[in-house]
Structure 1
Amino acid sequence: MKAMILAAGLGTRLRPLTLDRPKPLVDVHGRPLIEYNLLLLRRYGIVDVIINLHHQGDALRAALGSGDTLGVRIVYSPEDPLLDTGGAIKNAASLLGDDDFLVLNGDTIIDLPLDALLAAHRARRAAATLVLRHDPEQQRYGLVEIDGEERIRRFLGRPAEVETALVPYMFAGVHVLSSRVLDYMPDPGTTFSITRATYPAMLAADEGLYGFPFAGFWRVIDTAADLARANAILEERPPLHFL
């Protein structure tokens, strides 16, 4: 299995730290942010990794190189202009191949059991499986409704654009995709969001999209406050299971 880490963003909300470096290289508790995802993948034997590049892309490529020092094999997918989440994935389609693949947001740290996620995805023969969670700040992120069988029924946007009688989950920025997701995407080079464009189109076609509820450690590094909070929590808690 291959994985893709989305790492091309401008990191504007984390300035001035991101003026001279890409956000994935910002230090979080003694490690570059992107290293957490790379080590998580390696822990589960997923060593073929595609990373998209834009802001300070040369710096990210120089820092990570081929990935051999971290035990992974990295291939880069440059973007100019930025293509958003869906566009980034479609742009890398030739690198991802025909098998199921993982996609992780490069600004996220998650203590996730990838083996359980992949097992759930395969057992359901899902078109895609999204890691979901309840969070006090979930209105900051894309919200998702699931039914009693954890099948996704609706995307509510960011912040929620409609009211719902159900308690929505937030999308945690990690998903497993089958290659047929690519069939619902426009041509490479198009800028679009996978959660706003692709996944709603797949729901309309009755494709099997599922949630994977997760209550463990998760932090996203969007702002200086997020960074300070992540550093404080990582200092206090036991090490993440993949370190």
Structure 2
Amino acid sequence: MIRRAMVLAAGRGTRLAPLTDTTPKPLLPVAGRPLLEHILEFLHAGGIREVVINLHHLGHAIEERLGDGRRFGLRIQYSWEDPILDTGGGIKRAEPLLGGEPFVVVNGDSLLELHLEDVVAFHRARGALATMVVRPDPEAARYGLIELDAEDRVRRVVGLPPGVEGTFRGFMFPGLHVFEPDIFGWMEPDAAYSVIRTTYVKLLAAGMSVYGFLTPARWVNIDTPRALAAADLTLRTAPFRF
């Protein structure tokens, strides 16, 4: 069982302004409570007991809301960023709080209805360095295609690395990874970069063991006002079960 996770919560949420002028995106209410609290419930149900949350925009509001995490059955620590470091740089910054054990990373603005233990078991059975959850979606290309071969190995992300040939299946990435601690050796410190477009591309170019866990699981995100309203309706009418 994996016990540690990181929630990426530092973003500014500019597409949700003016809501995010005063409230950080992960604290926007979905079905009566902040989406971030739904995410913590999901992680706890999957066996996670220690959580790191990276903070930048209105981060104090998140810290004040969640505290040390005891009321969620978790131990929460915070990783502050100034300037903001994007997803890859943010994960690397949190290495002192995460290093030494496998860990899960989830986006702070989306939620999946699945059993986290199934993803972890898949990751371990394949001896993966990194595993991405992927979903079929008719608009997968809009999110950035994640391409898998017949053995569910990830071969390309957003069309990279160049020169990879073959017939692959394209999916979308809904915001959940599992990493071995060796991933930190592939990450530059003190820099802002995308874990997808930078770290994963390095791993794939080097032929490292990267897999995609394919699931039809329901998924919501709150990237835009329309998506926020849809997420609220979904979780009110048919709550996710973990």
Specify if TM > 0.5: yes
Unmatched tracts of structure 1, length 5 or more: none
> TM-score of the superposition, structure 1-length normalised?
0.93
Aligned-residue offset at 1:165: 5.6
Match of 2:76 in 1: 74
CA distances 1:148-191 after superposition (whole Å, capped 9, x unpaired):
11001111259xxx9x964411111100001111111112x211
In structure 2, what is the Cα distance between the partners aligned to 1:141 and 1:157? 12
Match of 2:180 in 1: 178
In structure 2, what is the Cα distance between the partners aligned to 1:45 and 1:180? 22
* Secondary structure in structure 2 of the residue aligned to 1:168: strand
Match of 1:104 in 2: 106
Match of 1:240 in 2: 240
Count of paired positions: 237
On the 8 A contact 2:150/2:168 being kept in 1, the answer is no
Choose which of 9, 15, 24 in structure 2 pairs with 1:7: 9
Alignment of 1:29-178 (within 5 A): 29-156=31-158, 166-178=168-180
In structure 1, what is the Cα distance between the partners aligned to 2:142 and 2:156? 17
* Secondary structure in structure 1 of the residue aligned to 2:212: strand
Unmatched tracts of structure 2, length 5 or more: none
On the 8 A contact 2:84/2:192 being kept in 1, the answer is yes
Superposed CA RMSD in Å reads: 1.7
Identity of aligned residues (%): 49
On the 8 A contact 2:44/2:73 being kept in 1, the answer is yes
In structure 1, what is the Cα distance between the partners aligned to 2:30 and 2:10? 18
Runs of 4+ in 1 over 3 A off after TM superposition: 164-167
In structure 1, what is the Cα distance between the partners aligned to 2:227 and 2:123? 30
CA distances 1:86-112 after superposition (whole Å, capped 9, x unpaired):
000000001002111000000001112
* Secondary structure in structure 1 of the residue aligned to 2:200: helix
Letter in 1 for 2:196: T
On the 8 A contact 1:157/1:196 being kept in 2, the answer is no
Letter in 2 for 1:145: E
* Secondary structure in structure 1 of the residue aligned to 2:20: coil
Aligned-residue offset at 1:138: 2.1
In structure 2, what is the Cα distance between the partners aligned to 1:21 and 1:222? 14
CA distances 1:46-65 after superposition (whole Å, capped 9, x unpaired):
11000000000111100111
Letter in 2 for 1:71: G
Match of 1:208 in 2: 209
Match of 1:199 in 2: 200
> TM-score of the superposition, structure 2-length normalised?
0.93
